[in-house]
Amino acid sequence: MSSNPTSPATAAMEAEIQRLIALQRRAHTAAMSPERAVRLDRLARLDAMIERHAAAFIGLIAADFGNRSRHEITLTEILPLRAGIRHARQHLRAWMKPRAVATALAFRPGRSLILRQPLGVIGIVSPWNYPLLLALSPLVGALAAGNRALLKPSELTPGFSAGLRAAVADFFAAEELAVINGDAQVGAAFCAAPFDHLVFTGSTAVGRQVAQSAAAGLVPVTLELGGKSPAIIDASCDLNVAIPRLAWGKLINAGQTCIAPDYVLVPRPQLEACVAALRAAMLRLYPRFEANPDYTGIINEHHLRRLLGLLDDARERGASIIELEAPRPGAAPTRQLAPRLLLDVDDGMRIMREEIFGPLLPILPYDSLAQAIDYVNARDRPLALYWFGRDRAGREQVLARTIAGGVCINDSLLHVAQDALPFGGVGPSGQGHYHGEFGFRQFSKEKPVFVQSRFSGGGMVYPPYRASMDKLLRYIGWLG
């Protein structure tokens, strides 16, 4: 989002956005409710596009990051996408079916039903951290629901964004699906365009601007944001089981994950053991960090400096920082930032006020589960919450007394891989959901329809009103 004067190139892209929306809206008007076969064909082409271009996408993403493992990209982006497409194709018939709902007794034998219709043209703004997954995952629901779509991938992954645009053009007509590339000014114009629904995935700060921009045109939005997702280690937890799962969730993509554990709450008596277990688990996953082909680089120098600034601020304010790997003298500089564990942190530190989005992990002791819950509830509602333990009562207490976009029990990240569960935030961490049927519904108008019977008794309440009307009204009220 930018307030700088519009350049000629940006003006040309703004015109192209408007042209494509008009093209897609005309096509939508001409075929407003595509048959199931049409939707299945679009989903099949999306799957074929991912399969054909998978190796190229992996190479482009790795280059944009400086280093990112092809195994990690396959595991976190390609496989979940294809699973989501498969899920949508399997369930599409049921999702499209009109839903009969109850009709009040007074209005029978009329019938009530809900029709799910495509909204029209969906705009999708995706971030850089999972550039393939977060561009195409909401698209699955949009196409299944019968919509057309424009994608605006991040300018921070220029190689991938260009590759995605070319791949989409190979498999889809522009009236079905197209990609717009450009800088922050182009992104601002995209978010102000007259879509029928806008999806934005990114930071909370930019999400606020996007919501304001879309509101000017009364464009409904789905905002998938972030925030500080807590992990709570319960006193009943088996650290040998829990800590490797927590470490994996924190360090995949070098912590550049919107649902990554942002800080850990640990029972005070277990603090030392937890720190030792986290250090050991992280080093088992990545015996070294610099020049490790399995360990992802920070996306660019700006974000690397931001993370180092968080560390400097915490250190100056009294935090104890545990480094897992010291920089090697004479080694070529890379953006592979080794993890740090932080102790003795407080709310005055930037690292406890800002979303970290990197391999830095504050660890805070607590004296009772109620205290840990109060700490979480005193902050913005997170996109994800993690609880590790074996005590059922403690688990139920955390579930009942906290609100988060999603919860994962005894593991990290994996709730987002379940196609039957919705994905989305709450409050500052987002609004709206997608994945599976929730995405289909998000990008549909659920149109209520009442079908009157030939034998309706409605005429009995038409004027002119007679003395018997009071008795009839009492009877209708009794019927409900």
Question: Which amino acids are annotated catalytic?
Answer: 224, 258
Exposure pattern of 87-121 as b/e (b: 16+ CB <10 Å)?
A: bbbebbeebbeeeeeebeeebeebebeeebebbbb
| Sign of the torsion angle spanned by Cα atoms 431, 138, 162, 169 | negative
Angle made by CA atoms 246, 135, 141, in degrees to the nearest 5? 95
Q: Which residues contact 185 (CB under 8 A, 6 or more apart)?
A: 2, 4, 6, 7, 10
- Give residue for tokens 């494509």: 20
Q: What is the number of other CB atoms lying within 10 angstroms of the CB of residue 393? A: 10
Q: Give the chain as a 3 state SS string.
A: CCCCCCCHHHHHHHHHHHHHHHHHHHHHHHCCCCCHHHHHHHHHHHHHHHHHHHHHHHHHHHHHHCCCCHHHHHHHHHHHHHHHHHHHHHHHHHHHCCEEECCCHHHCCCEEEEEEEECCEEEEECCCCCCCHHHHHHHHHHHHCCCEEEEECCCCCHHHHHHHHHHHHHHCCCCCEEECCCCHHHHHHHHCCCCCEEEEECCHHHHHHHHHHHHCCCCCEEEECCCCEEEEECCCCCHHHHHHHHHHHHHHHHHCCCCCEEEEEEEHHHHHHHHHHHHHHHHHHCCCCCCCCCCCCCCCHHHHHHHHHHHHHHHHCCCEEEECCCCCCCCCCCCCCCCEEEECCCCCCHHHCCCCCCCEEEEEEECCHHHHHHHHHCCCCCCEEEEECCCHHHHHHHHHHCCCCEEEECCCCHHHHCCCCCECCCHHHEECCECHHHHHHHCEEEEEEEECCCCCCHHHHCCCCCCCHHHHHHHHHHHC
Q: Taking a C-beta distance cutoff of 8 angstroms, is the pair 183, 108 a contact?
A: no
Dist. CA 119–CA 222, nearest whole Å: 14
